[in-house]
Amino acid sequence: MTRLRLPRPRIALPVSRRGRVVAALLLAALTVAAAATAVVLVLAARRAEAITDARFDAVAQARQRVARILTYSADTIDDDIERAREYTAGAFAEYYVPFARRAIAPAVRKEGTSSVAVVSRAAAVSATPDTVVVVVFIDQRTAGKTAPQPRTTSSTARVTMTKVAGQWLISELTPTSAGAP
């Protein structure tokens, strides 16, 4: 005779204390992971926003400050060099100001030179919230005793702008192309 097997009825067992502890720990771990992810995303968004702001502000300041330190006149060369000190920082300031006093100022006075620089274009190459590297395109119009007819030259430079006490200052300026008429 063949026996007929009937399925056994399932009895709902109460959730054990151990099961509740495991569920609570799992829920706590998921909550901590979600909170940590949210914090990381917020910090990443703030950093991205800070870099975007840095690019915008540093490029604007590079345009103005590069033009100002490359603009000078025989009559105002000492003031022009002093102004350059205000717009530069770090090793570049320590190099540029004494060099300008020793080499540029005497030549400018002797030749009666005046020069007006304009940054025609500028773009950020790389950025962090406190340092931005900018490429600038410079048009410089120069005249003097030996060349009274103004001559315009164009050049490019790589400029590192560093945020110091809330201001974007030139911490490095490297010509990347010689002036061309």
Strands 114-127 and 151-164: unpaired
C-alpha 157/C-alpha 122 separation (Å) is 10
In-domain check, residue 149: yes
Do 170 and 159 contact (CB within 8 A), yes or no?
yes
Enumerate helices (H) and strands (E) in the chain, giving the number of each: 4, 5
State if pTM tops 0.85: no
Domain containing residue 60: 18-176
Please indicate, yes or no, if residue 1 is contained in any of the structural domains.
Answer: no
Question: Tell me, what's the pLDDT at 181?
Answer: 46
For the chain, the domain total comes to 1
CATH number of the domain enclosing 36: 3.10.450.230
Burial class (CB in 10 A: 0-12, 13-18, 19+), 97: middle
pLDDT reported for residue 152: 92
Nearest-CA neighbor of 73 among 102, 111, 120? 111
Q: Is residue 2 part of a domain?
A: no
* Domain presence at residue 86: yes
Give the number of residues written for the chain: 181
- Determine, yes or no, domain membership for 160: yes
Instruction: Flag whether 120 is in a domain.
Output: yes
Q: If the chain, 181 residues long, is cut into consecutive pieces of 10 residues, what is the mean pLDDT of each piece?
A: 69 67 82 85 81 92 96 95 93 93 94 95 96 97 87 95 96 82 46
Q: With respect to residue 9, please indicate whether it lies within any of the assigned structural domains.
A: no
